[in-house]
Amino acid sequence: MADEILLISEDRVKETVDVSDNVAGKYILTSIREAQEIYFKRIIGTELLTKCKELVAAGVIRNPDNAAYKALIDESQLYLAYMTAVQLHHKVAYKIANAGIVKTPDDKVINATDDERDRQQQYYQSMADACAYELQGWILERYRQYPELTENKCHEIKANLYSAATCGLWLGGARGRRVRG
């Protein structure tokens, strides 16, 4: 994907979440792509993400006219880094090979247990959730600067601010109501 535009770099992820320098770039880049194109897109919407990527691709993101978009990208760096770390965990622990899904332990290191990996992933997820909450509030304060943010997307962001944490349980809301008729 030579023309792919990523809003955070591999180096920035490594600096932010203390990822080892020897982690293969293909795992980090795949994780960045998932963090950006799945999770970040849910926060800002397809149109706003597309606009940011177009400005970066054209090399005009630093122009004064695009300051709001540059600020959005800068503000999203922590979220993207932590969400990348969430996605990265299983990629480095397990590999898909001809023999199936395999673990690749090294003689000189001790692999973390599944429970330890899960706890670390939950830590990164909780950090990403906190960053998402802050980012969504930041966006709503400045929504008028982004014509790509529709009223519907702003409503989605506001609704998500009531339940920004990620967990396996539905914690309430409209889904718990009975619909008559």
Token pair 């600096």 in the structure block, residue: 15
Give the Cα separation of 136 and 148 in Å (integer): 15
Give the orientation angle of helix 46-58 with respect to helix 67-75, to 10 degrees. 110
Nearest 10 degrees: Cα torsion 56, 59, 65, 70: 40
Q: Check if the beta carbon of residue 28 is closer than 8 Å to that of residue 88.
A: yes
Q: What is the pLDDT at residue 1?
A: 45
Partner residues linked to 152 by β-bridges: none
Three-state SS at 87: helix
What phi and psi, each to the nearest 5 degrees, are found at residue 102?
Answer: -125, 155
DSSP 36-80: IIIIIHHHH-HHHHHHHHHHHHHT-TTSGGGHHHHHHHHHTHHHH
Both structure tokens of 30: 């795949």
In which band, very low, low, confident or very high, does the pLDDT at 178 lie, cut at 50, 70 and 90? low
Span 99-142, pLDDT tens digits: 777 776 666 667 778 888 888 889 999 999 999 999 999 999 99
Mean pLDDT in residue range 62-68: 97
- Residue % of the chain over a pLDDT of 90: 59
Angle at 11 between CA 110 and CA 1, to 5 degrees: 105
| pTM more than 0.85 | no
